[in-house]
């Protein structure tokens, strides 16, 4: 039912979802009707960059630059976005 | 990653921040639902409601402790005229806020103000596709109004969350209810099987469907879910009486949920006040931080130190934490016993009896006791012992 994530795809957060930094928990969270997700460090960095204009490859490039010591993060990022898409946290914009 | 939700995976055990704050801002309500889980003696808490300032202070304090999700409920919260102020403050503080309403009192003007103030979503209760059942079970003429309100919510760009409490009178209409929800453009639908607390407990034999009806309803729900996909998320809240293990009530006592009631009592769950010998903190006397972390009431059933057998040595205890303390007490008279829903509980026969009772035509035919001020006063004054004699904790 859900398609898979491609490098040229552009995503935004699904309607009604809110993403914010939580001081008390020291992590990013996603808030939506009836629930919330605490995002671990890596996931938070990915979702933070999902803004309705960057492509998936832009996001990968940005993260590779921001975390030059992390080996092979591309597959992690794609897996994260895939999961987010399946959970309907994201909407495809293009 | 941790998913926390009414329907999600459990929170991690060490996390004792009150992530969810439920503000039961008033117990007054224009509806009189037969399945209402409000306390049967709610009437005595309608006189001394917290002020706007006290609510705002509570919101600030809870937010400092990490609260993120705010539910504004009741009774009918819209009977207060300061919900706009509460909503605005909630948004400024960074809450994701939800107004839980019957729809009565929602006007164009108010919804506009909620939108501007930053309310995130509105959860509307619906009851049936038929006017007859809607009006019967709520004891009010609210059918047309609810449809109008649903359209208003949608019209203002809100996600539409419909909550439908399921019982014998509407369980045969699940498919039609889901079709109605789809037609109204609902984004989320909660099919919440009645849980038996407060008013629903005293009406249990009149409300409880059969196991076959529930299985059938769940099957229809699954089929519908396949059909609509992510467009409309459907939650089917399983009725615990028909499972062999209890629910992990409130995700654990004092783990993630904190409730502040109309009169300022701070509770770990909606019905905790039925428990004997408990002194719950009140925001008029104590800060929320003390209430959550230090108060004897919040620590009493936190974790599993309080357990006795069979829970104490049960390999599954992490999973359900022994179930619901209120249910254990209401049914068995012992708050520290295993939730009678559990087949390992020595009190499980009480659940079996309740299920049998609900098949008894004589009990089924008893008049429903609707939630209203008069009945509440009667019950609190001990004038209706026949209604409550089977259950502990009610006067
Ligand atoms: S369940 Fe019905 S009577 Fe009870 S608070 Fe909700 S709308 Fe009011
Ligand atoms: S015995 Fe207690 S802990 Fe074990 S499954 Fe039953 S209720 Fe849960």
Whole-number Å distance between alpha carbons of B317 and B3: 20
Whole-number Å distance between alpha carbons of B123 and B116: 18
Q: Is the pLDDT of residue B22 over 90?
A: yes
Read off the pLDDT of residues B264-303 as tens digits, 9 standing for 90 and up: 999 999 999 989 889 999 999 999 999 999 999 999 999 9
Which segments of chain A have a pLDDT < 70?
1-2
Whole-number Å distance between alpha carbons of B259 and A14: 29
The residues pairing with A30 across neighbouring beta strands, listed in sequence order, are: A19, A37
pLDDT score, position B394: 55
Closest-lying ligand 2 atom to the alpha carbon of residue B311: 2
Q: For testing the chain B interface, which of A34, A40, A79, A82 should be mutated: the one with the most B CBs within 10 Å?
A: A34
Closest CA to B208 of B238, B168, B237, B165: B168
From B32-41, B83-92, B147-156, the region with the lowest mean pLDDT: B32-41
Whole-number Å distance between alpha carbons of B260 and A5: 43
Pair type for strands B188-193 and B160-166:
parallel
Closest CA to B56 of B80, B34, B20, B87: B87
Count Cβ neighbours within 10 Å for each residue of A25-38 and write b for 16 or more, e otherwise. Answer: eebbbbbbbbbbbb
pLDDT score, position A63: 93
pLDDT score, position B393: 58
The residues pairing with B267 across neighbouring beta strands, listed in sequence order, are: B259
pLDDT score, position A35: 86
pLDDT score, position B15: 56
3-state secondary structure of B157: coil
Q: What is the mean pLDDT of chain B?
A: 90
Q: Is the pLDDT of residue B221 over 50?
A: yes
Over pLDDT 90: what percentage of chain B?
70
- Residue B267 — φ and ψ, nearest 5°? -125, 150
Q: Which of A22, A34, A40 sits opposite B68 (nearest CB)?
A: A22
For residue B351, give the ligand nearest its CA: 2
Answer whether B33 contacts ligand 1 (Cβ < 6 A). yes
Answer whether B314 contacts ligand 2 (Cβ < 6 A). yes
pLDDT score, position B5: 41
Structure-token match 């019905």, residue found: B271
Pocket test for ligand 2, best of B314, B321, B348 (most atoms within 8 A of CB): B314
3-state secondary structure of B162: strand
pLDDT score, position B12: 34
pLDDT score, position A69: 86
Q: Is the pLDDT of residue B98 over 70?
A: yes
Read off the pLDDT of residues B157-175 as tens digits, 9 standing for 90 and up: 998 899 999 999 999 999 9
Distances (CA, A) of B331 to B108, B183, B197, B379: 44, 40, 10, 18
Chain A window 35-94: which residues touch B at a Cβ cutoff of 8 Å?
35-40, 43, 88
Taking an 8 Å cut-off on Cβ atoms, the answer to whether A38 and B94 are in contact is no
Interface pTM, i.e. ipTM: 0.84
From A52's Cα to the closest Cα of chain B, the distance in A is: 19
Q: How confident is the model at residue B237 (pLDDT cuts 50, 70, 90)?
A: confident
pLDDT score, position B1: 45
- Residue B387 — φ and ψ, nearest 5°? -75, -30
The residues pairing with A13 across neighbouring beta strands, listed in sequence order, are: A90
Q: Whose CA is nearest to atom 2 of ligand 2?
A: B311
Over pLDDT 70: what percentage of chain B?
95
């Amino acid at each position: 039912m859900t398609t898979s994530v491609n490098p040229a795809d552009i995503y935004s957060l699904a309607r009604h979802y809110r993403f914010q930094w939580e001081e008390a928990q020291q992590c990013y969270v996603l808030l939506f009707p009836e629930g919330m997700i605490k995002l671990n460090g890596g996931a938070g960095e990915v979702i933070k960059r999902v803004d309705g204009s960057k492509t998936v490859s832009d996001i990968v490039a940005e993260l590779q630059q921001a975390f030059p010591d992390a080996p092979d993060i591309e597959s992690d990022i794609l897996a994260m976005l895939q999961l987010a898409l399946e959970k309907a946290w994201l909407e495809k914009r293009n | 990653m941790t998913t926390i939700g009414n329907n999600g995976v459990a929170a991690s055990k060490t996390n004792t921040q009150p992530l969810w704050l439920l503000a039961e801002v008033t117990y007054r309500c224009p509806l009189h639902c037969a399945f209402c889980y409000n306390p049967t003696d709610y009437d005595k808490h309608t006189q001394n409601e917290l002020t706007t300032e006290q609510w705002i202070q509570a919101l600030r304090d809870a937010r400092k402790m990490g609260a993120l999700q705010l539910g504004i409920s009741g009774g009918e919260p819209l009977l207060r005229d300061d919900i706009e102020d509460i909503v605005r403050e909630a948004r400024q503080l960074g809450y994701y806020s939800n107004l839980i309403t019957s729809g009565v009192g929602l006007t164009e003007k108010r919804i506009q103000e909620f939108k501007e103030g930053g309310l995130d979503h509105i959860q509307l209760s619906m009851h049936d596709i038929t006017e007859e059942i809607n009006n019967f079970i709520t004891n009010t003429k609210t059918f047309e109004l609810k449809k109008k309100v649903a359209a208003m919510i949608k019209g203002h760009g809100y996600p539409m969350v419909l909550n439908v409490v399921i019982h014998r009178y509407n369980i045969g209409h699940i498919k039609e209810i889901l079709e109605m929800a789809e037609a109204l453009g609902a984004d989320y639908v909660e099919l919440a099987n009645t849980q038996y607390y407060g008013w629903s407990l005293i009406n249990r034999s009149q409300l409880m469907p059969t196991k076959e009806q529930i299985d059938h309803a769940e099957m229809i729900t699954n089929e519908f879910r396949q059909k609509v996909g992510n467009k409309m998320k459907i939650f089917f809240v399983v009725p615990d009486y028909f499972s062999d293990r209890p629910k992990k009530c409130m995700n654990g006592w004092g783990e993630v949920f904190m409730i502040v009631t109309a009169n300022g009592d701070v509770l770990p769950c909606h019905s905790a006040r039925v428990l004997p010998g408990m002194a719950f903190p009140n925001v008029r006397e104590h800060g929320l931080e003390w209430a959550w972390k230090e108060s004897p009431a919040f620590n009493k059933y936190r974790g599993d130190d309080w357990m006795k057998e069979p829970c104490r040595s049960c390999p599954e205890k992490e999973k359900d934490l022994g179930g619901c303390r209120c249910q254990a007490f209401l049914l068995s008279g012992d708050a520290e016993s295993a939730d009678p829903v559990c087949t390992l509980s020595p009190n499980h026969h009480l659940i079996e009896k309740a299920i049998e009772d609900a098949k008894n035509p004589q009990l089924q035919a008893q008049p429903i006791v609707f939630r209203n001020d008069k009945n509440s006063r009667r019950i609190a004054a001990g004038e209706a012992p026949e209604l409550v004699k089977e259950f502990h904790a009610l006067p």
